[in-house]
């Protein structure tokens, strides 16, 4: 499958769709998942038209994983999370639904179950409050 530049993450990168941005640098963008599985669920994407891990430019991948690590540390603090889950899916058979490389960072707490992914949009004001908490912890 060829990269489709009309995917939602490409539109977020171009500013065509609003998002609660957490952090941005030359190669990567971190923003709140609009349909989070738990509070604090954040996505990190490269600013490179890569469908998945197998076709991203290594320079962008290096920056994106460094941003993923930095954001994960901030989420751990901001949400007082004893655990952090990082997930990255490649291809529809693996569960990928948006075909732009992305890393999910999900704070984990004992006894708090995941909501089903990609089901319910969170209130934008809640997402912005969560983004602010993460930015403050950076």
The residues, ordered by sequence, that sit 6+ positions from 101 with a Cβ below 8 Å of its Cβ are 45, 46, 48, 50, 51, 52, 53, 56, 61, 64, 88
pLDDT at 2: 81
For residues 2 and 100, what is the distance between their CA atoms, to the nearest angstrom? 11
- Out of 27, 102, 104, 130, pick the active-site residue: 102
Q: Where are the domains of the chain?
A: 8-137
Q: How many CB atoms lie within 10 A of CB 34?
A: 19
The yes-or-no answer on residue 41 being catalytic is no
pLDDT tens for 18-61 read 999 999 999 999 999 999 999 999 999 999 999 999 999 999 99
pLDDT at 116: 63
Homologous superfamily of the 8-137 domain (CATH): HIT-like (3.30.428.10)
Q: What is the mean pLDDT of the chain?
A: 95
């Amino acid at each position: 499958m060829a990269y489709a530049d009309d995917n939602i993450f490409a539109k977020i990168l171009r500013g065509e769709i609003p998002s609660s941005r957490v952090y941005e640098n030359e190669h990567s963008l971190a923003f709140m998942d609009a349909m989070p599985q738990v509070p604090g669920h954040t996505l990190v994407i490269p600013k490179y038209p890569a469908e998945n891990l197998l076709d991203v430019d290594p320079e962008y991948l290096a920056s994106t994983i460094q941003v993923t690590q930095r954001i994960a540390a901030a989420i751990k603090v901001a949400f007082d999370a004893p655990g952090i889950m990082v997930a990255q899916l490649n291809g529809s058979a693996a569960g990928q639904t948006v075909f732009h490389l992305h890393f999910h960072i999900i704070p984990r707490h004992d006894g708090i179950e995941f909501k089903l992914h990609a089901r319910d949009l969170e209130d934008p004001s809640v997402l912005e409050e969560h983004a602010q908490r993460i930015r403050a912890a950076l």
